[in-house]
Amino acid sequence: MDRQKIEFSARASLVARGVRFQPMGIWAEVSAQVKIKQKIHKHTPVEKLLDCLLNILAGGQGVMETHILVRPDEAVPRAFGRDCCADQSTISRTLNACRAQNVTQLRDAISRILQKPARSYQPGYTGAELLLDIDMTGMPAGGQGEGCTKGDFAQRKHCRARQRGRVLATDDDEIIVDRLDDGKRQLNCSLPDLGQQAPRVLALEAAKRRATMVRIDGGAGDEVNLNWVLGQGYHWLIKLTSWRRAHQLSASVGEWFADPKIADRSVGGVQQGLTFTRPTRQLLVRTPKSDGQWSYCLLLTTLSDAMHFRLASRALGADRAATSAGHLARL
């Protein structure tokens, strides 16, 4: 009786993922979109891109680790539809052959792949508010890394890093847009690019934009960006960059309301606020400083009371939402 050869894989979970990966047609979409100009000997350029992806999924930190993590474990490439894994040197040459148009092609393919299972992708208007968050995060790395430059990052000033910009569908825990820039590029410069990519991925037409709320950190809250975002048709919640202008507006607040969540913090509606290309509601938040003075920040929003109440109900629960609704109505 012939004994069948039994093979073992140190990455059984990755093999199981590959078995699911093929029927979903994920890499078929990449193959249809990405066209890299390179001679074909044994492996096509897109096949070598898949080998590179397998190395990343296996925990590889560099292309050279393909020889350690993927090539010896034959079950991994077979699970993803490959007979074998390409040599790391040929994978590197394929990566070097990629041009800017190939990056654009890959991004388009990823957008199409995301749309199939994404809960946040709704081609038709459903009437439910979509909540998006746009922000950037510093990614510290070595000085020899591509695009690693010195900059001021949270708790790590003057280190070398890249900046990762993301658009998140908050309620659905989905990454809609993911971009990697050099360390000196801040949110105020990346906001237009990130803001324009999200509607392409999610097919946000005019009706859907009117039911979409976008939250942005104060790093992009200058006047140019504010007028730009207000013209996109979304509802926005954004923090003004200039604390001096926020301090000047404190004189126009008629009544301050205590924040029940954070002690000593209070909020008030601005009666004579700043003028933008679209009507906004402007709320001033103040917190005490160690020297006895107040620190102010200005929040701008285009949300109606009804949208505020519905979003509060989703985030806080019915009881706390009712309390927040009462404070908002008084503002």
Residue 218 lies in a domain: yes
DSSP assignment, residue 39? -
* pLDDT tens-digit readout, 113-140: 888 887 788 766 555 678 899 998 888 8
Beta bridge partners of 282: 300
pTM assigned to the model: 0.76
In whole angstroms, what is the distance from residue 216 CA to residue 243 CA?
A: 16
Residue 118 lies in a domain: no
Alpha carbon of 166 to those of 119, 190, 304: distances in Å? 17, 10, 26
Residues 273 and 212 grouped into a single domain? yes
Could you tell me what percent of the chain has a pLDDT over 70?
88
- 294: enclosing H helix or E strand: strand 294-301
* pLDDT tens-digit readout, 186-214: 888 888 888 888 888 888 888 888 888 88
Considering only residues 190 and 8, tell me which one the structure prediction assigns the higher pLDDT. Answer: 190
The total number of structural domains in the chain stands at 2
Model confidence at 269: pLDDT above 50: yes
- 96: enclosing H helix or E strand: helix 88-97
Q: To which residue do tokens 């509607």 refer?
A: 199
* pLDDT tens-digit readout, 222-233: 888 888 888 888
**Token couple for 327:** 């404070």
Residues 318 and 224 grouped into a single domain? yes
Residues 96 and 198 grouped into a single domain? no
* pLDDT at site 91: 92
Residues 83 and 129 grouped into a single domain? no
Residue 7 lies in a domain: no
Residues 63 and 203 grouped into a single domain? no
Model confidence at 1: pLDDT above 50: no
Residues 190 and 319 grouped into a single domain? yes
Residue 1 lies in a domain: no
Residues 287 and 312 grouped into a single domain? yes
- Write out the residue range of the structural domain in which residue 102 sits: 12-113
* pLDDT at site 222: 84
Q: To which residue do tokens 């992009």 refer?
A: 220
Residues 98 and 196 grouped into a single domain? no
In whole angstroms, what is the distance from residue 39 CA to residue 25 CA?
A: 25
Residues 129 and 82 grouped into a single domain? no
* pLDDT at site 309: 75
Residues 83 and 209 grouped into a single domain? no
Residues 209 and 109 grouped into a single domain? no
Q: To which residue do tokens 């969540």 refer?
A: 261
Residue 148 lies in a domain: no
pLDDT level of residue 6 (50, 70, 90 thresholds)? low
* pLDDT tens-digit readout, 286-320: 999 988 889 999 998 888 777 777 776 765 554 44
Residues 193 and 283 grouped into a single domain? yes
Residue 141 lies in a domain: no
Strands of 185-293 (E only): list them. 212-216, 235-239, 257-258, 266-269, 281-288
Q: Which amino acid is at 128?
A: A
Residue 2 lies in a domain: no
DSSP assignment, residue 260? S
Residue 151 lies in a domain: no
* pLDDT tens-digit readout, 14-66: 888 888 888 888 898 899 999 998 888 889 999 999 999 999 999 888 888 99
Task: Give the contacts of 61 (CB within 8 A, at least 6 positions apart).
Answer: none
Task: Give the contacts of 330 (CB within 8 A, at least 6 positions apart).
Answer: 255, 257
**Token couple for 161:** 């890093």
